[in-house]
């Protein structure tokens, strides 16, 4: 459920980038942050321990004029640590999420890691009493990253393994920025629409 601040007339959405380690979550956030007008975004903060890090920043999307009743939209974007040993951190980051971008690594050698990470995401959503079930759950999209790799899996194979319900999915090369903002705009629109439906 988005956080409503009546004093500033802002509704803050929590968006989480989920996926395997080294799959492109951090690259997505760094690119997004670099493309947003500094007057509309906060600093890119790295919450770092000795062995992991979570990135975070907030921004105000200009293209979303308002959410009704004069409320503006603010989005707080987080990444989760991808490595298996940081499951507790992933649970905490997912708490209160209003939308998810699952970043899948197109590298054929990472197919099982993608599937395991997807299962882990669903487990951790249940832990937080959340789901991404169509119609009742929080909005989410898939991003098939690293499409420039010579051993990139066919999109059809990734769809079969990760996307049986055919939620919106986007190809990307996050290191070049390709597909990154398209993915962000799609999940932002889904979060806004979900909020308007529940008003």
The 10s digit of each residue's pLDDT in 75-133 is 999 998 866 667 888 899 999 999 999 999 999 999 999 999 999 999 999 999 999 97
**pLDDT recorded at residue 25:** 93
Q: Which of 29-33, 77-81, 186-190 has the lowest mean pLDDT?
A: 77-81
Options 3.20.20.190, 3.40.50.720, 3.20.20.80, 3.40.50.300; CATH of 3-198:
3.40.50.300
The arithmetic mean of pLDDT across residues 46-54, rounded, is 66
What confidence tens digit (pLDDT) does each residue in 177-186 have? 999 999 999 9
- Which tokens sit at 161? 């393994």
Mean pLDDT estimate for the chain:
89
The arithmetic mean of pLDDT across residues 134-153, rounded, is 93
**pLDDT recorded at residue 193:** 85
**pLDDT recorded at residue 82:** 67
pLDDT higher at 56 or 95: 95
């Amino acid at each position: 459920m988005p956080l409503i601040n009546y004093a500033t007339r802002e509704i803050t959405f929590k968006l989480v980038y989920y996926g395997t380690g080294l799959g492109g979550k951090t690259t997505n956030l760094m690119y997004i942050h670099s493309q947003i007008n500094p007057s509309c975004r906060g600093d890119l903060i790295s919450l770092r321990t000795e062995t992991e890090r979570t990135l975070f920043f907030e921004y105000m999307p200009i293209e979303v004029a308002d959410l009704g009743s004069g409320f503006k939209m603010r989005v707080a974007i987080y990444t989760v640590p991808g490595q298996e040993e940081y499951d507790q951190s992933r649970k905490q980051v997912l708490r209160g999420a209003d939308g998810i971008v699952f970043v899948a690594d197109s590298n054929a050698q990472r197919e099982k890691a993608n599937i395991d990470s997807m299962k882990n995401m669903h487990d951790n959503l249940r832990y937080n009493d959340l789901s991404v079930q169509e119609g009742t759950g929080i909005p989410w999209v898939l991003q098939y990253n690293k499409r420039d790799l010579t051993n990139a899996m066919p999109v059809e194979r990734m769809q079969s393994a990760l996307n049986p319900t055919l939620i919106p999915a986007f190809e990307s090369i996050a290191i070049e920025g390709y597909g990154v903002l398209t993915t962000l705009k799609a999940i932002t629109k889904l979060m806004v629409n979900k909020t308007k439906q529940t008003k």
